[in-house]
């Protein structure tokens, strides 16, 4: 029997003074990476705030594993557009944050956090304060903190937006490695078409504000993805197609 999607969003709407999100429907299958691209200010971050439960939708339904969820705080690993690491906590303690909020036992939490740092090559930075890390490092730590929240659905809001091209490309591979090892379902937003194609199984294209799904493109590149894919004819073709949609 085929399993239903991990996350279903149906006819989601939200307005402040004006309509920001209008009847967005999308879904994410288990183990899938889905990206959302759209013009700046169209409502991507707002959409994530609604999905994560920080904002309440005016209308629409959100289902996780087929069940409607009204109280969604704590159900997703949500990484904000800014890294938002706590400057008063060392890297290790920043990563333990999610566990701590869930009220897990401190020693066990530490073991898990250290394990995560080891697994994803940040162990030697455990005792650094965030202010002593480079931008790319901060982003890695923020990513691990999101993962340490132990949710198998991640919402990543422009996770690599503020980074230079080289760091960004290394972090793409980093994310793919994490995704594969931990079998996660991921939705992320980006302005970068190439990033969207390189990482995702499907790309949702949003319209200008009020945000609405303009199109959804399936990316038929084989996995595991490699840097060389970026220049393959298939990739370029998809890039052209998405360009025309924006």
Partner 1 sequence: MKQHIFPILFGFLVLLTWQFSVSFFHIEQWILPSPIQIIDSFWQSRSLIFFHLVPTIFEASIGLIGAIFISIFIAILMERSQVMKKIIYPFLIISQTIPFIILAPLLTLWFGFGLLPKIIIIALVCFFPITINLFDGFQGVDPSILRLLNSMGANQKQIFRLVKWPASLPAFFSGLRIAAAYSILGAVVSEWMGADRGLGILLIRSTKSYLTDRVFAVIGIITILSIVSVLIVEIIARLSIPWHFNKLRVKS
Task: Write out the residues near partner 1 by the rule CB under 8 A.
Answer: 49, 52-54, 73-76, 78, 80, 82, 84, 86-89, 97-98, 100-101, 129, 131-132, 149
Q: In angstroms, what is the minimal distance from the CB of 9 to partner 1?
A: 16
**Closer Cβ to partner 1, 53 or 210, answer by number:** 53
Segment 179 to 218, residues that bind Mg ion, using CB under 5 A: none
Q: Is 44 in the site for ligand ATP (CB under 6 A)?
A: yes
Q: In angstroms, what is the minimal distance from the CB of 44 to ligand ATP?
A: 3
> How far apart are alpha carbons 94 and 84 in whole angstroms?
10
Tokens 């994490």 appear where? 178
Q: Which of 46, 57, 151, 200 binds ligand ATP (CB under 6 A)?
A: 46
Within 13 Å of residue 242, how many CA atoms lie on the same side as its CB? 28
Q: In angstroms, what is the minimal distance from the CB of 105 to partner 1?
A: 15
Kindly write down the DSSP assignment for every residue of 7-18, as one continuous string: EEEEEEEEESSS
**Closer Cβ to Mg ion, 5 or 39, answer by number:** 39
Quick check: 229 and 198 in contact, CB under 8 A?
A: yes
Q: Is 162 in the site for Mg ion (CB under 5 A)?
A: no
The residue among 38, 151, 130 whose CA lies nearest residue 87 is: 130
> How far apart are alpha carbons 211 and 132 in whole angstroms?
38
Segment 3 to 42, residues that bind ligand ATP, using CB under 6 A: 16, 20, 40-42
Q: Is 45 in the site for Mg ion (CB under 5 A)?
A: yes
Q: In angstroms, what is the minimal distance from the CB of 189 to partner 1?
A: 15
Segment 190 to 219, residues that bind ligand ATP, using CB under 6 A: 209
Residues in the interface with ligand ATP (CB under 6 A) total 11
Q: In angstroms, what is the minimal distance from the CB of 109 to partner 1?
A: 13
Q: Is 185 exposed, middle or buried (0-12, 13-18, 19+ CB in 10 A)?
A: buried
Q: Give exposure, 169-183, as e/b (b: 16+ Cβ within 10 Å).
A: bebbebbbebbeeee
**Closer Cβ to partner 1, 76 or 235, answer by number:** 76
Q: In angstroms, what is the minimal distance from the CB of 162 to Mg ion?
A: 12
Contacts of range 119-122, beta carbons closer than 8 Å, 24 or more positions apart = 119/181, 120/144, 120/174, 120/177, 120/178, 122/91
Would you tell me which residues interact with ligand ATP (CB under 6 A)?
16, 20, 40-46, 81, 209
């Amino acid at each position: 029997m085929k399993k239903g999607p991990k996350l279903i969003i149906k006819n989601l709407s939200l307005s402040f003074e004006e309509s920001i999100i209008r009847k967005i429907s999308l879904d994410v299958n288990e183990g899938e990476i889905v990206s959302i691209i759209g013009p700046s200010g169209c409502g991507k971050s707002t959409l994530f705030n609604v999905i994560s439960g920080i904002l309440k939708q005016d209308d629409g339904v959100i289902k996780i594993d087929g069940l409607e969820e009204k109280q969604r705080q704590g159900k997703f690993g949500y990484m904000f557009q800014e890294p938002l690491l706590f400057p008063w906590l060392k890297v290790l303690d920043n990563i333990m944050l999610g566990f701590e909020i869930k009220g897990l036992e401190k020693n066990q939490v530490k073991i898990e956090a250290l394990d995560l740092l080891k697994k994803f090559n940040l162990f030697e930075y455990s005792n650094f304060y965030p202010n002593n890390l480079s931008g790319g490092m901060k982003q890695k730590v923020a990513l691990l903190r999101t993962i340490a929240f132990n949710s198998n659905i991640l919402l990543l809001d422009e996770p690599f937006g503020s980074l230079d091209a080289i760091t960004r490309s290394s972090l793409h591979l980093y994310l793919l490695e994490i995704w594969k090892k931990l079998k996660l379902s991921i939705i992320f937003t980006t302005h970068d078409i190439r990033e969207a194609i390189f990482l995702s199984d499907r790309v949702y294209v949003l319209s200008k504000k009020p945000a609405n799904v303009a199109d959804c493109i399936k990316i038929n590149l084989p996995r595991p993805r490699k840097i060389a894919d970026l220049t393959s004819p298939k990739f370029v073709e998809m890039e052209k197609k998405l360009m025309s949609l924006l």
